[in-house]
Structure 1
């Protein structure tokens, strides 16, 4: 009851806070119209671009890698900086196209923005659909010459805007951003660099497993419990994999899931072919996926990582509604991958769809 009341209060206060924040921070002291030509950035005058990825989302950062590469291909002298946080930072840790990574910490926005302002960035690109007050403040204090935002027509803080069509794949939005930067017909594939230490570590782990000729990766978990497989479904999927393939089955999942996974492995009764390798960080997950023969997952972060290597994959999504086109927007988007859908026909209004209601034979 208290939690529900708090949600109601927060929903009431949110637009008030946002309106107040916009009055305070939706402004720009200088307009650099010399950097804009035909409603695009005049890249011939640009020496640096800053990307804001302070949401810490791994999958989004994976997709973002296409932009870093395409900009460097056309404009190799342009410095690319990225504001990031959490595990998403590791995705670009070894990216040769990113010159500077700034670590974003909540409550420390002003200090970081002041540091960035000294670098005098020409262009800042933000990806937020709804800007919170601290983000408005952060962008304002970064003092980039040109600010670009998502659907920000009518904002004083932003000089240029790009669009997002939720009925199209997410790469269409990134293509639109590149268009604002004067880059047409980009390569929309992703790329992830893991580094020699991680490569050697995964080779060592695979040697410990007997260097399997083939293996399937099963990632049963997503960020939300409503999008994660339950134990019964994990057992069902695992049994099918062991029946239909001759290779190993490797589980991946957060350390907090270790006991559950180990109990599932015991229940399967084939510990020689089923393993849960303990991985350290997202880059080891990336490198293991790079070596896999097949990936099964309900989590879009893993979907995008697998997509970077065009791995054969089954990705499980909740069925779309008129309001929610998640499976189109965040699809694997390559021929080696397929999507299957949970059809929760008994879902009541306000309830989450049960991801486990799909036909196992579709995998």
Structure 2
């Protein structure tokens, strides 16, 4: 008996094109570039970069609707269906790396439960290289054609996942939430194995997409100086796609050891994924690379400020976790904020930096302020990040113990 479907939460754009076209994001591997297939209609998420920056001015393109809602399986039916011989298209609500790593781990578990299931992901955006790690998956990074859509038996909107609507203020673990929602077991994990050895590869990734989660440059200098004393090849990876990278690099200062290199970043997420896989040990902020370590169980230390290490790492123990212990009159770490917030009169920060209760910070900033962002990741970090500088000796001791090093 057919199941009753419901409209997706996310709105999609329906468009046509008189001319052949192809699109791919600059930070996604070229192999995942998409090409039109002469279908009568195409679909993309209304908030996608394709819709916002390309379609309105593309030659031969006609927008049919910006308010299309695909019919999807209701959340309460996910655990009831036998997907053994099914083809499922998953609507990806956002391309944040950490969330998409969790979704990828869930999809791996789904493949273990239903070996013959066919999986597609739509609007995977910048995280497309992460999803492509799953064998035989179809990755539609920016759009899908009506012919391609017709091949799928079911469509699932992953924004129906528990906790998704509040993810900006209280992070969730998508892997655990989705495995529970579908009634399946999580995939097995490799054993964490820390081996200190000559010329071991150590990757340090200190920058996150928010100043609330980017590690202080002084702390990174201290960690790098410690590790450079122990015959390691150290790579510090910044993020050229973030507007504060140059300011952060200047604050980091000169690191003269011949075994230390500083990269402005990688061209694609696929290159970042391969880097994390190749490292013997990592030091990471609460950022996409911290979650990427879960895919390979890369050992290391994760340093957390506003978000809960316990929540974000979940069952994964490959990273030793350090949690900021900041406590102030208006907040205690981890407060749960993933991004900066704004007051009604436009002040941008967090509870600790603005000395305001969370109720006064009900909005996301409407405009990006490059000067403020640079200041927050260099000279004036938010309190829970600044506290990490005070924790430097204990963090260094934790790394030493984990690697079996002596000073």
Q: Which has the higher helix share?
A: 1
Q: What does the per-residue CA deviation read over 1:127-170, in whole Å, with 9 as the maximum and x for residues that have no partner?
A: 22xxxxxxxxxxxxxxxxxxxx3359xxxxxxxxxxxxx89854
Q: TM-score, normalised to structure 1's length?
A: 0.61
Matched, 1:60 2:99: yes
Structure 2 match to 1:316? 303
**How much does 1:189 deviate?**
4.4
The verdict on how the C-alpha distance between 1:236 and 1:178 changes in structure 2, with shifts beyond 3 A counting, is: same
Of residues 283, 288, 293, the one that matches 2:270 is: 283
**Equivalent residue number for residue 202 of structure 2:** 216
Post-superposition Cα deviations, 1:181-215, rounded to whole Å, max 9, x if no partner, equal xxx4342549xxxxxxxxxxxxxxxxxxxxx8312
2:128 counterpart of 1:124:
no
Coordinate RMSD, CA, aligned: 3.6
Where 1:80 maps in the other structure, the secondary structure is strand
Q: 1:55 to 1:354 in 2, by over 3 A?
A: same
- Residues 97/265 of structure 1: CA separation in 2 closer, same or farther (3 Å cut): same
The answer to whether the 8 Å contact 1:171/1:188 transfers is no
Question: Could you say which residue in structure 2 is the equivalent of 1:103?
Answer: 141
Aligned pairs, number: 262
Matched, 1:41 2:81: yes
- Partners of 1:92 and 1:82 in 2: how far apart? 8
Alignment of 1:222-233 (within 5 A): 222-233=208-219
The counterpart of 2:180, out of the listed 171, 176, 181, is: 176
Question: Closer, same or farther in 2 for the Cα pair 1:94/1:170, shift >3 Å?
Answer: closer
> What residue ranges of structure 2 are gaps of 5+ in the alignment?
1-66, 164-169, 191-197, 329-351, 362-381, 397-407
* Partner SS for 2:386: coil
What's the offset of the Cα at 1:26?
8.4
1:344–1:118 Cα change, 3 Å: same
Structure 1: gaps spanning 5 or more residues: 1-23, 106-111, 129-148, 153-165, 191-211, 321-325
Give the Cα separation in 2 of the matches to 1:175 and 1:308: 16
Deviation at residue 94 of structure 1 after TM alignment: 4.7
Listed as ranges, the matches of 1:86-165 within 5 Å are 86-98=125-137, 100-104=138-142, 112=144, 114=146, 117-119=149-151, 121-128=152-159, 149-150=160-161
Please tell me whether the aligned partners of residues 209 and 287 of structure 2 are also in contact (alpha carbons under 8 angstroms): no
